[in-house]
């Protein structure tokens, strides 16, 4: 069920992203090529899928909100382009392909990320069939998650934490901001767009926090136990860059236990939902067996 859901949603997300960017053919070709290179480099489309699954969970149709969902994917992709730059993580590969700056140069990679970030909000605000007040609230939610109090702020902590021994609270804050904030925005946005009750929004928020925690812990585990073919980039990059992770702070076994606890807490957050939330339950379960 989950595999088919992913396949169906990835297909419609990719078609929508392609259609949206086809409108931009008047751009200088190189920036257009650089944007598309990373946007269609084989991502899991997890954030837009979470948005649609949240809308489905409260009885709406998630595919009604593709412009917002695709905007989230563009913001995520911009962050990956910038994360890979020599001044940041200095990675040569992403998803098994050369990183953007290795193909187009550092300057163009920066501009491609900038273009994706700014154009994302153009697409988000093109969402039809939603009251203006709700769409503005959703846009504000996503902007905050991507900004200095969210993803950017988490990256700042990450950048200045290299070579330092972090405690659990600092490590969790860093990842709640760097990775978890956009997950939370996706799930809350899906609920808000679908007209969910405050009770359901609160539950989706708690689920998002636990999902983000489980995702990051398993990501740290994969950096040690995965293979380059599976994760699409060299393994052991966290250790080489002297980054604090759940594995370095504790151990592989303890990290696995923490991930399982987060998955259990995510399930508990969905106790007030019915079968419509089955995909959300399966999505968080799948984190414990992920290979990329």
Give the residue, 64 or 230, on which the prediction is more confident.
64
Closest CA to 231 of 13, 32, 42: 42
Can you give the pLDDT at residue 22? 76
The C-alpha atoms of residue 180 and residue 178 are separated, in whole angstroms, by 6
Q: What is the pLDDT, as a whole number, of residue 123? A: 95
Burial class (CB in 10 A: 0-12, 13-18, 19+), 286: middle
Decide if pLDDT at 25 tops 70.
no
Six-digit token pair at 217?
């812990």
> Which tens digits make up the pLDDT trace of 223-246?
888 666 665 556 556 655 567 789
Q: How confident is the model at residue 198 (pLDDT cuts 50, 70, 90)?
A: very high
Tokens 């999505």 — which residue?
283
Domains of the chain and any CATH numbers: 2-286 (1.10.600.10)
DSSP state letters, 242-270: T---HHHHS-HHHHHHHHHHHHHHHHHHT
Cβ neighbors of 64 (< 8 A, separation 6 or more) are 55, 129, 193
- The first and second tokens of residue 225, run together, are 């136990």
Q: What is the pLDDT of residues 82-92, one digit of tens each?
A: 999 999 989 99
> CA-CA distance, 196 to 206, in Å (whole number)?
15
Which pLDDT value is given to residue 132? 97
The pLDDT mean for the chain works out to 92
Predicted local confidence at residue 166, as pLDDT: 85
- CA proximity to 134, closest of 179, 181, 201: 201
**Structure confidence by residue, pLDDT tens digits, 103-151:** 999 999 999 999 999 999 999 999 999 999 999 999 999 999 999 999 9
Whole-number pLDDT of residue 212: 95
- Looking at residue 215, what is its pLDDT? 95
Residue indicated by tokens 């969210």: 150
User: Structure tokens of 20?
Assistant: 């949206």
DSSP secondary structure string for all residues of the chain: -HHHHHHHHHHHHHHHHHHHHHTTTTS-HHHHHHHHHHHTS----HHHHHHHHHHHHTTS-GGGGHHHHHHHHHHHHHHHHHHTSTTTT--SEETTEE-HHHHH-HHHHHHHHHHHHHHHHHHHTT--SS-HHHHHHHHHHHHHHHSTTTHHHHHHHHHTTTTS---HHHHHHHHIIIIIHHHHHHHHHHHHHTT--HHHHHHHHHHHHHHHHHHHHHHHHHHHH--HHHHSS-TTHHHHTT---HHHHS-HHHHHHHHHHHHHHHHHHTTT--GGGHHHHHHHHHGGG---
Q: At residue 6, does pLDDT exceed 70?
A: yes
Q: What angle do the packed helices 46-57 and 181-193 form, to 10 degrees? A: 40
Determine the average pLDDT of the residues in 62-81: 98
């Amino acid at each position: 069920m989950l595999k088919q859901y992913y396949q169906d949603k990835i297909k419609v997300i990719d078609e929508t992203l392609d259609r949206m960017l086809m409108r931009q053919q008047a751009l200088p070709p190189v920036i257009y090529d650089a944007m598309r290179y990373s946007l269609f480099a084989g991502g899991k489309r997890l954030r837009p899928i979470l948005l649609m699954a949240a809308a489905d969970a409260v009885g709406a149709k998630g595919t009604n909100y593709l412009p917002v969902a695709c905007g989230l994917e563009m913001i995520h992709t911009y962050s990956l382009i910038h994360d890979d730059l020599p001044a940041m993580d200095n990675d040569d590969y992403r998803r098994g392909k050369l990183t953007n700056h290795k193909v187009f140069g550092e300057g163009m990679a920066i501009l491609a990320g900038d273009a994706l970030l700014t154009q994302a909000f153009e697409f988000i605000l093109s969402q039809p069939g939603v009251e203006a007040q709700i769409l503005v609230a959703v846009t504000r939610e996503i902007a905050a998650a991507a900004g200095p109090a969210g993803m950017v702020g988490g990256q700042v902590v990450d950048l200045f934490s290299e070579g330092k021994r972090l405690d659990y609270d600092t490590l969790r804050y860093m990842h709640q901001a760097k990775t978890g904030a956009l997950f939370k925005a996706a799930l809350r946005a899906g609920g808000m767009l679908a007209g969910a009750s405050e009770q359901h929004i609160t539950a989706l928020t708690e689920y998002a926090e636990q999902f983000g925690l489980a995702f990051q812990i398993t990501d740290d585990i994969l950096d040690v136990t995965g293979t380059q073919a599976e994760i699409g980039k060299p393994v052991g990059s966290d250790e080489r860059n002297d980054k604090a992770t759940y594995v370095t702070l504790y151990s592989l076994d303890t990290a696995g236990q923490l991930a399982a606890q987060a998955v259990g807490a995510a399930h508990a957050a969905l106790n007030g939902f019915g079968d419509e939330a089955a995909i959300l339950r399966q999505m968080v379960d799948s984190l414990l067996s992920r290979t990329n």
